[in-house]
């Protein structure tokens, strides 16, 4: 069945450094979604990518969908302490599979 792998599992950065998490699917996806979960909270939908090679930006966050629609990345420029949390990708191939998430911690 469909597998969605996400790396790294953990990332610790100094405030102001950049951060990237990567998501890879074993199958071609119809679309991919990204979520953020603050510590002790629930996942919150950030964005959806649908087109091959699509790039979307939300302030300091940049989301990319690979040309083959099997991988994606989330890049945060100049991290802030408010970026702390776990970032999940979710790939859709007739059902939605979540990656294991990347837990980001930011040292002030």
Partner 1 sequence: NAGVTQTPKFQVLKTGQSMTLQCAQDMNHEYMSWYRQDPGMGLRLIHYSVGAGITDQGEVPNGYNVSRSTTEDFPLRLLSAAPSQTSVYFCASSQDIGGYGYTFGSGTRLTVV
Question: Among 26, 73, 92, 105, which residue sits at the site for partner 1 (rule: CB under 8 A)?
Answer: 92
Tokens of 9: 């599992």
Q: Which is nearer to partner 1, 84 or 96 (CB)?
A: 96
CA dihedral 56, 61, 62, 64 (to 10 degrees): -80
Question: Radius of gyration of the chain from Cα atoms?
Answer: 13
Among 11, 21, 25, 33, interactor with partner 1 by CB under 8 A? 33
Is 44 a binding residue for partner 1 by CB under 8 A? The answer is yes
- Interacting residue with partner 1 among 14, 39, 42, 108 (CB under 8 A): 42
Chain positions 1 to 30 lying near partner 1, rule: CB under 8 A, are 6, 9, 30
| Contact positions vs partner 1 (CB under 8 A) | 6, 9, 30-31, 33, 35, 41-45, 47-48, 88, 90, 92, 94-101
């Amino acid at each position: 069945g469909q597998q969605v792998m996400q790396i790294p599992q953990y990332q610790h950065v100094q405030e102001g450094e950049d951060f990237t998490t990567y998501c890879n699917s074993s199958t071609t996806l119809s679309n991919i979604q990204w979520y953020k979960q603050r510590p002790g909270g629930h996942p919150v939908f950030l964005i959806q990518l649908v087109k091959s090679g699509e790039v979307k930006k939300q302030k300091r966050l940049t989301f990319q969908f690979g040309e083959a629609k099997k991988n994606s990345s989330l890049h945060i420029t100049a991290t802030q302490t408010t970026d702390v949390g776990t970032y999940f990708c979710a790939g859709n191939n007739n059902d939605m599979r979540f990656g294991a998430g990347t837990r980001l911690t930011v040292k002030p």
